[in-house]
């Protein structure tokens, strides 16, 4: 081999060196492709498979088998709001029956009725009060005497439907006074409740919202335990 190389001319040696370099480059390319790239590809595939398995395991642990079921579960978890119907009258642009979502407040009812008029006195109304299905809301005007007006009514109206209970002692029907909706005239029919106290009751529920239970009437200034005991069987909040 040594003698062969020595007998070559300079030009032949250069050509031989170029051929050898080309062969080395080809060998390097093949080695890089089959040993480095393929190895990294296999490792990347293994990592991807491991990641997918981990994700699938997490999804299965929370009770979903695939992404479609997961999306359905999220959608079904959203609470569906129930529609309610209220009757709003008084100083609104479009008085009448309006449809609201459950949990709506008086301000929402006013908006649904076209907003308040220029004469509306909203300072007399608790706009954050949550209204219930079937109630009637009255929006007063400025300088209006509210002593005889119930801003929120839950009954069917005067003379239409009356709530009554059976008195076990006398077996006679006796109408209870709804302290959330009763006018001053109705409130003063209760023993110990005069005009001044009736006005206090109406003022309290106007500013603080409806009474949740009959015992709440004791929160009104002037109604103590003794007076409450005299009227507790004659009043209701429903």
Domain boundaries 83-144, CATH class: alpha beta
Distance CA 27, CA 94 (A): 89
| Domain regions of the chain by residue span | 2-74, 83-144, 164-236
Q: Which CATH number fits domain 164-236: 1.10.150.320, 3.30.70.260, 3.90.1570.10, 1.10.275.30?
A: 1.10.150.320
- Contact in structure between 137 and 151 (CB atoms under 8 Å): yes
Q: What is the CA radius of gyration of the chain?
A: 42
Exposure string over 15-36, b if 16+ CB within 10 A, otherwise e: eeeeeeeeeeeeeeeeeeeeee
Q: Where are the alpha helices (DSSP H) in the chain?
A: 2-7, 10-31, 38-61, 67-77, 106-112, 184-187, 195-208, 225-231
Alpha carbon dihedral 165, 167, 168, 169, in 10-degree steps, equals 180
Q: Count of residues for the chain?
A: 238
- Residue-level pLDDT, tens digit, the chain, 238 residues: 556 556 667 777 788 778 888 888 888 787 766 665 555 555 555 556 666 665 566 545 544 444 555 455 555 545 567 899 999 998 999 999 999 998 899 999 999 999 999 999 998 888 999 888 888 899 998 988 877 677 777 666 554 443 433 344 333 334 789 999 888 888 988 888 888 888 899 999 999 988 999 999 999 988 988 889 889 889 999 8
What's the pTM value of the predicted model, to 2 decimals? 0.40
């Amino acid at each position: 081999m040594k003698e062969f190389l020595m007998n070559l001319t300079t030009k032949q040696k250069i050509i031989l060196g170029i051929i050898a370099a080309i062969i080395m480059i080809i060998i390097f390319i093949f080695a890089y492709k089959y040993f480095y790239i393929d190895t990294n590809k296999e490792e990347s595939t293994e990592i991807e498979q491991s990641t997918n398995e981990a994700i699938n395991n997490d999804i299965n642990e929370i009770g979903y088998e695939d992404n479609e079921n997961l999306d359905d579960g999220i959608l079904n978890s959203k609470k569906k709001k129930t529609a309610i119907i209220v009757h709003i009258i008084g100083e609104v642009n479009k008085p009448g029956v309006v449809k609201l979502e459950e949990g709506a407040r008086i301000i929402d009812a006013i908006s649904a009725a076209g907003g308040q008029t220029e004469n509306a006195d909203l300072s007399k109304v608790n706009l954050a009060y949550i209204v219930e299905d079937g109630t009637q809301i009255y929006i007063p005007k400025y300088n209006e005497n509210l002593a005889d007006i119930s801003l929120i009514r839950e009954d069917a109206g005067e003379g239409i439907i009356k709530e009554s209970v059976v008195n076990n002692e006398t077996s006679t029907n006796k109408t209870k006074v709804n302290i959330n909706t009763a006018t001053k005239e109705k409130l003063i029919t209760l023993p110990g409740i005069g005009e001044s106290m009736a006005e206090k009751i109406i003022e309290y529920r106007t500013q603080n919202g409806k009474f949740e239970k009959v015992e709440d009437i004791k929160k009104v200034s002037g109604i103590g335990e003794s007076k409450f005991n005299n009227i507790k069987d004659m009043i209701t909040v429903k």
